[in-house]
């Protein structure tokens, strides 16, 4: 019987870990995020500290049920999602939907047998700082999208959207384009003259630079 259940994000990674660990652990994939904000509503309580309301991703219901069944059979559950903010949030959501009392989290930065075994030797808890950072980014994305997109539909064109990153990038592009259009080219010229004293092998270069001020050159 396996010692426990390891949950990673992708099926490919699950197969690789299974090859490393053999029958020692049951390794399964969450297929990415298992919960998210609702698709058709904001899902953020602005007046209650921007509290997010999550719901199970519809396409992950079968996966969650399978993970729940596996978690009941195995002795312990180890969350091995990717070592970043998104991965930490996925681990937290898994712990919530699977109702894990003492979730164990491992991370490895290379998919090798040694790295996986070292990670299993030093499990930790879920880092809520990373989880909160991911939640803040997700909430801001939702607020920007839900607030600005309807405004753009009414003022510009139906169906276009606004994003936290794309809106700022578009502003930078527009500002730069305005600078280009306002630019007034100024003609200038430079004359280099090589000078030397008659009978002297030494020489030097003199440079005359004159921007065109709009008047006649003299």
Q: What is the CATH number of the domain that holds 44?
A: 3.40.50.140
* Weakest mean pLDDT among 50-54, 64-68, 111-115, 144-148: 144-148
pLDDT at 68 exceeding the cut of 90: yes
Residues 127 and 137 occupy one common structural domain: no
Distance CA 16, CA 18 (A): 5
pTM for the model: 0.75
> Is the pLDDT score of 135 beyond 90?
yes
Question: Would 68 be classed as within a structural domain?
Answer: yes
26 pLDDT higher than 70: yes
Question: Between 81 and 2, where is the model more confident?
Answer: 81
User: Is residue 191 in some structural domain?
Assistant: no
pLDDT of residue 213: 58
What is the per-residue pLDDT for 218?
40
Cβ distance 32 to 17 under 8 Å?
A: no
For the chain, the average pLDDT equals: 90
**Percentage, residues of the chain above pLDDT 90:** 64
Q: Quote the domain boundaries for residue 66.
A: 4-131
**Residue 37 within any structural domain of the chain:** yes
54 and 83 share a domain? yes
96, 145: one domain: no
Q: Are residues 168 and 97 in the same domain?
A: no
Kindly list the distances between the CA atom of residue 148 and the CA atoms of 43, 45, 51, 159, 164, in Å, as whole numbers in the listed order: 16, 17, 20, 12, 10
Q: Are 125 and 150 in a shared domain?
A: no
- Over residues 143-201, the pLDDT tens digits come to 888 877 777 777 777 777 777 787 788 889 999 999 999 998 888 888 999 988 887 88
Confidence at residue 214, expressed as pLDDT on a 0 to 100 scale:
54
**Maximal CA-CA distance, the chain:** 102
Does residue 14 sit in the same domain as residue 79? yes
In this predicted model, which residue has the larger pLDDT, 213 or 177?
Answer: 177
The predicted pLDDT at position 217 comes to: 46
Question: Cα(28)–Cα(3) distance, rounded to whole angstroms?
Answer: 14
């Amino acid at each position: 019987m396996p010692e426990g259940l390891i949950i990673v994000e992708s099926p490919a990674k699950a197969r690789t870990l299974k090859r490393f660990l053999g029958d020692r652990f049951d390794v399964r994939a969450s297929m990415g995020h298992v919960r998210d904000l609702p698709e058709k509503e904001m899902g953020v309580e602005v007046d209650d500290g921007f509290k997010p309301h999550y719901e199970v991703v519809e396409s992950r219901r079968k996966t969650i049920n399978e993970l729940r069944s596996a978690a009941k059979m195995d002795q312990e559950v180890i969350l091995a999602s990717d070592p970043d903010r998104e991965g930490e949030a996925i681990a937290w959501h898994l712990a919530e939907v699977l109702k894990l009392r003492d979730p164990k989290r491992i991370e490895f930065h290379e998919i090798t047998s040694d790295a996986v075994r070292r990670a299993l030797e030093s499990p930790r808890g879920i880092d809520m700082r990373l989880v909160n950072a991911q939640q803040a980014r997700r909430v801001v994305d939702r607020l920007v999208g839900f607030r600005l997109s309807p405004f753009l539909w009414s003022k510009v064109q139906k169906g276009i959207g606004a994003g936290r990153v794309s809106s700022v990038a578009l502003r930078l592009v527009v500002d730069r384009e305005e600078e280009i259009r306002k630019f007034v080219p100024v003609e200038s010229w430079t004359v280099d003259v090589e000078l030397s004293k008659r009978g002297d092998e030494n020489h030097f270069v003199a440079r005359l630079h004159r921007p065109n001020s709009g008047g006649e050159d003299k």
